[in-house]
Structure 1
Amino acid sequence: MDFAPAFSAAAETLRAIPRSELMIAAIVAMVIGWAGAFAARRSPWGSAMRTFSSIALGAILLTVVLQLSRLDPRFDVAVPQIGLPAQVVSGEETRIPLGADGHYWIRAEVNGVPGNFMIDTGATLTAISTDLADRAGLEPRRGGIPIMLGTANGTVQAHVASIESLRLGNIRATGTDAAIAENFGDFNVIGMNVLARLGSWRVEDGTLILVPKPEDRVES
């Protein structure tokens, strides 16, 4: 049996721990809980430590659930206190012609910084390169959990940031989540976490048409 993939995945997880405040907090809470369990028979502080551990782990679990919910377009989660702004897509209808390579490409702006993006209806999450993220002033969300993304080069570890403003054609998305990973190279993707918040999107005569929800449309 080949254990290399399992060891590789474990190594990636261990490398992610120092960069994830949630993981560090969870480990500390579990250690306090274990210490409290051993001390419970000898000191009243043992029960207090176990109670603190349970509350802390519950809060961490809730935070993880909220962060994961934002990656699913069926949910609309916004909790500014933990760095999760509302995700809104507004503007006017945008038309994107089919590229020569059979994909839909658009010149978009991340916080005012331009970059080339492929519209990918098969991608759950919008993804940007580290170069564009650096130029746009994006940083991984504090306390965010690392995620694993499938790419053409295999599965890579990425961190999530919130884009204050993402403009593509006449469409403007605010508070949008995006994955950042070094392995993306210069590749950028508009994923379903943006498209699903539109009123509709369709293809007519080889042209991709993006239409905001009626309440989010901006009249010209």
Structure 2
Amino acid sequence: MTAQSANYLWAIGALVLAVSALVAQRASIGSILRSLIAWAAIIGLIVIAMTQREQIEALVTTTADRLGLGGQTVEGETVRIAMSEDGHFWARVQLNGYARRMLIDSGATVTALSQETARRAGIKVGEDGFPVVIETANGSVKAERGRVARLAIAGLETRDLSVVVSPAFGDMDVLGMNFLSRLGSWRVEGRTLVLDPRREGQHPPRDTGA
């Protein structure tokens, strides 16, 4: 059974329980119909929120960026990210439409994802060559290769970006230099990371993977 089918069954069950409760109370037909419509509307909204969660999260993320909430702001096509309390820069990123908070690390050669993030973003691994060995702060780890069809930070977007995926990353997701090098420029101004888009005539580097 798919998650969507389970959501529909849950909604139907909740509606049946609500009607049964009204019937047990011997409510009038008019009251039952009004309550039925109200419950159907509430359950419909819940089902929409469940089935369209990723699209809703993406919309909320984009709106928050435009309003300058959460330390990430958009000025024209430029994205500015304030340094967090831990001294790092964290970006709100969309991976194939899946919203995720990722650490920006210029010391990482390639973008690295947890297995859960790769699964939720629909990224297939193991089809882009042999596994690779990645050097991390905790030593060497084996990782599978994959590619993100679309990765975006607000209006900054790139496509077909190579990534590595490994259970050794835990729940950590990192944006590496293979993403930063596709930008027009990036720099740190005080406690703010500034990401500029690639301008017309600037050609992105060839992404050959890890």
TM category (shorter chain) comes to 0.5 to 0.7
1:190–1:164: structure 2 CA closer, same or farther, 3 Å change rule? same
Cross-structure match for 2:169: 184
Percent identical residues: 42
Whether 1:128 aligns to 2:85 is no
Which segments of 5 or more consecutive residues in structure 2 lack a partner in the other structure? 1-75, 203-210
| Alpha-carbon distance in structure 1 between the residues aligned to 2:133 and 2:112 | 12
Q: How does 1:1-40 map to 2 (within 5 A)?
A: none
Which segments of 5 or more consecutive residues in structure 1 lack a partner in the other structure? 1-90
What amino acid maps onto 2:179 in structure 1? Answer: V
Per-residue CA distance 1:91-111 (angstroms, 9 max, x = gap): 921111001000000111111
Give the CA deviation at 1:170: 2.2
Give the CA deviation at 1:169: 2.5
Instruction: Indicate conservation of the 8 Å contact 1:141/1:162, yes or no.
Output: no
Segments ≥4 residues shifted beyond 3 Å: none
Q: How does 1:160-171 map to 2 (within 5 A)?
A: 160-171=145-156
1:136–1:202: structure 2 CA closer, same or farther, 3 Å change rule? same
Give the CA deviation at 1:153: 2.5
Whether 1:205 aligns to 2:205 is no
Q: How does 1:1-220 map to 2 (within 5 A)?
A: 92-142=77-127, 144-215=129-200
| Alpha-carbon distance in structure 1 between the residues aligned to 2:103 and 2:123 | 20
Report the secondary structure of 1:163's partner residue. Answer: strand
Instruction: Indicate conservation of the 8 Å contact 1:198/1:210, yes or no.
Output: yes
Instruction: Indicate conservation of the 8 Å contact 1:133/1:180, yes or no.
Output: yes
Q: Kindly tell me the number of residue pairs found equivalent between the two proteins.
A: 127
Q: Could you tell me the TM-score, scaled by structure 2's length?
A: 0.57
| Alpha-carbon distance in structure 2 between the residues aligned to 1:143 and 1:150 | 19
Give the CA deviation at 1:143: 5.2
Q: Could you tell me the TM-score, scaled by structure 1's length?
A: 0.55
The higher radius of gyration belongs to: 2
RMSD between aligned residues: 1.8
Give the CA deviation at 1:205: 2.4
| Alpha-carbon distance in structure 2 between the residues aligned to 1:143 and 1:214 | 29
Per-residue CA distance 1:88-136 (angstroms, 9 max, x = gap): xxx9211110010000001111111111100000000000100010111
